[in-house]
Chains A and B, each alone.
Chain A
């Protein structure tokens, strides 16, 4: 599919909008439909679209094996870290409104946003990893 100019141009124009929509879904997860999982899937789908159109090797240049493996664990680390910070401030695990961010409402919002970002990073990179491992050519 590398020599189809319409496909290449449309993909290049479309990918920033797909990623912007993915970030929007992650950010608005607490007030509307969507959330970390759905936004992460949309972010992963944008990279998968790039890899399908421009080739697997070109896609691996954008997200290397090392980077996707690191991002897999960084998301989990953010999730568990926010939970443990709540424990350090004297609350239960993931009890956001104990965080010292002014009002309890703001602290709760920020805590949920951090959790959504962590889930989004992990889901996006796991989707990318599964796709690359499935589509990889045998050497």
Chain B
């Protein structure tokens, strides 16, 4: 079996780089949510279920809502 951990970490790095390089801030937020979800899978794979639970509920749930709520009060696109 191919190492699941390696695939997840590869996705993690791709998501992190994509979130930094995205000009559309709403897309960046969504990619950050995907990053959090993959991170929760990594924690589960490391047998740290409690941390995975926290990561899934706080990282993927509440943080996304709060960042989008903050985004609604500013401009959606990054200027450069």
Contact = CB atoms under 8 A, between A and B. Distances in A.
B53 A38 contact: yes
Which secondary structure dominates where chain A touches chain B? helix
Interface residues of B, number: 15
A134 B73 CA distance: 9
Contacts, number: 38
A25 B61 CA distance: 16
Interface stretch (A1-9, A41-49, A67-75): A41-49
A127 interface: yes
Interface of B: 49-50, 52-54, 57-58, 61-62, 65-66, 69-70, 72-73
26 contacts: A25-B53, A33-B49, A33-B50, A33-B52, A33-B53, A34-B50, A35-B50, A38-B53, A38-B54, A38-B57, A41-B57, A41-B58, A41-B61, A41-B62, A44-B62, A45-B57, A45-B62, A48-B62, A52-B65, A130-B66, A131-B65, A134-B66, A134-B69, A134-B73, A135-B69, A135-B72
